[in-house]
Each structure stands twice: as structure tokens, then as C-alpha cells.
Chain A
């Protein structure tokens, strides 16, 4: 499996220097993870388990204390357009319109304007934002902003899409719709996706594999293949198979959450 892996995380650990000369804080124990091409993997863990740190290291926005990350066999040394990222906070550029936001990476790459317009129109359509091309981000709802952010990351045609709790700030109904939208895009485009969340249902619904992380210091606790059939619709969330996954993961996460609560 490791041979044809798209993304390979090798013994990656991260400690932060101690405050005022105190002992360093271990955020992440050595993590091994291999992601196959076209896989949709969710990383599930309680807050503060280091799952965001891991994602940021893969994105190149943070450096591992030890170990390394390989994308298509090449070591990650910094952020780059081959790893598109969607953040939990709203990170659209407020001075650019929706269309200009989606075109941002293409402009950095020097894609000619005509081609840029074509790609932007395609992704506007894909995330259902047709007609909002010339809106400012401020004029959009949270869900629309995150849809734009997904389109902005995808327009760059990255090798892998990294999402750090992108729906965490949305209300429950919007979140459900966004999950279906993202899953639908993945089912059509077959991108390699790494999705960090603390929401168990979200993790199962979209994933082909759920990687459960333990409480701080974070490490991978279990790796659960989700063999629910595709295409999945929201109705699957009430099926007995889904409930079985949910019960199992709830149990695993509960232990971790309790440990995390005691540690504080």
C-alpha cells in the first residue's frame, strides 16, 4: 500500500517549546499515515488532539519536529499549490469578489485570463454560486463563503485537498448540505481528500476511511474503513450500517474525550 501512496506521513511528530523555559509540550507523537490516490480520509479526534497540527504540517504551514511528509514521493518543505487547503475560519480575500477569489491561485500560476474565466465559471457552477460572481465575501453567508473557499482550492487543481474543520462554524442544517455538496464533488472528480473534523457523523458520512486520533499528545488510535456504498445520500445517516459505525466511533472518541477532560 505504501508503494503507491499519494501522501505519506512518516514518523511525523511535533513538540512546541515550553512556556518560560518549561518542559516542551508534545502535541503530536510520531504519526504514520498513508493516503492512497482518490481516497477520502477523515481524521477524527477530540479538540486539542493535534489533528489540525498534523494537517498544517502536511500543508507545509508548520514544520514537524521529526519525521517527514511525502507527496508523490517528494518531501514537503513548505506550503504550495499542490496541496489546496480550506480553513475553519473564513479566509476569502475580502478585497476580491467571489470570482476573483476563485481565480486567485490561477493568477499566481499565470494562467491566461480567458482560460481563468472558463475554470472559474465551471467551479462557480459546481459549488452552486452562479450569479454571485461579483459579490464581496462580506455579502455572503458562512456556508456560501466556505463553498467559495472550496471552489478556490479546487480551481487550482491540487494533488490533494486538505480541509481543517471547514464546516465547524456552520449551523447543523447548512453543515449537512455542505457535506453532501463536498461528497458529490468528490464522487465526480475523485480528488484525494484529507478532512479533519471532531464531528463523528460528518467523519463517517464522507469518508472511505476514518482515522481516529487520541487525546493530546496526539497519535493515531485506530483506522476504520467505511465501506458504505457510493453515491451516498443524507438518508444513509439513518441506516443501521451507519449507526453501527457511529456507535463504534462514539465509544472510541468518548474514551479520548474523557482523558482530555481529565488532563485539563
Chain B
């Protein structure tokens, strides 16, 4: 057994990471091919791949994937455009925080999925409703996390800037924003992951396209292979966007890693 907190070599890290997937798929194969679970409840890996291929080739599933991605990123960008400036203002100016913080903390606990019926009444079952679900689900979380990290800006850096002649505006623009930019980017990355859960829920209810729609549609036809394929696609997209986000952060903020 290695000692606690002792680092692991990159090669071993890769091997360990991959081996869990192998074990997972092996267990799944054993359950399904071995007949330990009825086919009607859980498709085996091979028929999942077959179903997935059919989805892509015959049912134009790529379009669904595209629609779902547009909803996630659309709603999320809207939320970020509102939340980043508001969060920075709340963190920087205490009266703004006193004014907004109680409401935002309250709104944060309102489940986005519970808003879906209301949002359908207001905006119909079209794209606006889907974007709003993502927006409602992400915006309050973003505001609060960003406000907290901005509020924790190192005071000694702010003081140093004052002694170098910064005005209040200069402090915000040239200390508070750059100091917190990596953490804000990291928060966006985290909350984007949550946005994926909201979009699927939004597509399960009152939708005629998207990955979530395909999943609920497959359920009524007991196509568990398709459901699993849809879930795996979401996981893969999440993994890719997460990795891209991380790489972008590393490129944008080399100083925070140097």
C-alpha cells in the first residue's frame, strides 16, 4: 500500500483509470450475457452499441445531440452573462451583497425541474422554455459561488494596489477581476456539468427532440440499449467539454499553475 498523499506515476494513473472501465464493462457483460438480469430491463453492451449505431444512422440522432448541446450551451451562456457581472458586483460591494444575497441564497434552493410546468405555461414547450430551465438552474448557483470567491480576494493585494495609486474602479478592473478569473472559469466548468442534468430533465417533459426526448421515447418501447447509449453519449460530451474547458483555463491563466 502506498503512503497517504504519495503521488502516483502518470503511467500507473492511466492504467488504473482505464482498468475501472474494464471492470465496469466486464461486470455489465457478466450480468447481461450471463443471464443474471432480464434483457428487457438491461441491454447487453453489444446490443447497446448496435442500437446506438442504428440511432445514429437511421434515426438522425446526431441532430438530437446537436439540439441538446445548443440548449445546454445557450442557456448556460445566458446564465453566465448575467451571473458573472452580478457575482463580481456582489463580492466587491458589500451593500449589493446585502441587497441580493438573501434572495439568491433562497432562489438557489428552488429546484429548476419544479419550474418546468410553470415555464411551459409561460413560454410554451419550445426552445425558450428549455433555455430558461438551464438558466434558472445555473444562474443562482453561479452568482453565489462567484460572489464568495470575489469576496475572498486577498486583501493585501488590494491594499498594495491602493498604495500604487489605484482608484476603486482600478481595484475592481485590475485586481479583483484578474485575481478571481481562474476561479470564476473553474466555477463555470463545474456548473456547466450541472446544466447537463437540467437539460435532460427539461427534455423528458414536453419535448419532441433532444437526447432526453430520445431516452423517454425509448423507455416506452423498452429500448434499454438506446437509453444506455444516450446516457453514455451525455457522459462522453461532458468529458470532452470538461477537458476542453480545463485546457482553455490552463492556456488563459498560466500564472496560476506556474
Q: Do A138 and B258 touch across chains, with their CB atoms under 8 A apart?
A: yes
Q: Are B253 and A104 in contact (CB under 8 A)?
A: no
Partner pick for B157 among A78, A93, A107, CB 8 A cutoff: A93
What residues of chain B lie closer than 8 Å to A81, measured between beta carbons?
163-165
Q: Contact between A136 and B258 (Cβ–Cβ < 8 Å)?
A: yes
Min CB gap A255→B, angstroms: 32
Q: A60-88 toward B: CB 8 Å interface, digit per residue (1/0)?
A: 11000000000000000011110111010
Q: How far is the CB of B141 from chain A (nearest CB, A)?
A: 25
How many Å lie between the Cα of A95 and that of B161 in the bound state? 13
Given A93-B157, A93-B178: A108 and B256 interface contact (C-beta under 8 Å): no
In the assembly, what is the distance between CA of A84 and CA of B174, in Å?
18
Main DSSP-derived SS at the B contact region: helix
Contacts of A80 in B (CB 8 A): 162-163, 165
Residues of A within 8 A of B126 (CB): none
Q: Which of B157, B164, B179 contacts A108 (CB 8 A)?
A: B164
Q: Give every chain B residue within 8 A of A108 (Cβ-Cβ).
A: 161, 164-167, 170, 174
Please measure, in the bound complex, the distance between the C-alpha atom of A61 and the C-alpha atom of B159, giving whole angstroms.
7
CB-CB under 8 A from A78, the residues of chain B are 162
Contacts of B159 in A (CB 8 A): 61, 79, 85, 87, 91
Inter-chain residue pair count (beta carbon < 8 A): 74
Given the interface pairs A95-B181, A108-B170, the reply to whether A87 lies near B160 with Cβ below 8 Å is yes
* Interchain CA distance A218-B170 in the complex, whole Å: 35
Contact A79 B162 (CB under 8 A): yes
Q: Contacts A89-B156, A95-B178, A95-B181: A84 and B163 contacting too (C-beta < 8 A)? A: yes
Interface contact B256-A94, CB-CB below 8 Å: yes
Which parts of B126-167 form the interface with A (CB within 8 Å)?
156-157, 159-167
Residues B163 and A93 in contact, CB atoms below 8 Å apart: no
Contacts of A230 in B (CB 8 A): none
Contacts of B2 in A (CB 8 A): none
Any A CB within 8 A of the CB of B175: yes
B35 at the interface (CB under 8 A from A): no
A193 at the interface (CB under 8 A from B): no
Tell me which of B157, B165, B254 contacts A105 (CB under 8 A).
Answer: B165
Nearest chain A CB to B180 CB, angstrom units: 10
Interface positions, chain A 120-166, Cβ under 8 Å from B, are 136-139, 152-153, 156, 162
| Minimum C-beta distance from B249 to chain A (A) | 13
A248 within 8 A of B: no
Q: Give 25 CB contacts A-B under 8 Å.
A: A61-B163, A78-B162, A79-B159, A79-B162, A79-B163, A80-B162, A81-B163, A85-B160, A87-B159, A89-B156, A91-B159, A91-B160, A93-B178, A95-B179, A95-B181, A95-B253, A95-B256, A96-B255, A108-B161, A108-B165, A108-B166, A137-B255, A139-B258, A152-B164, A156-B165
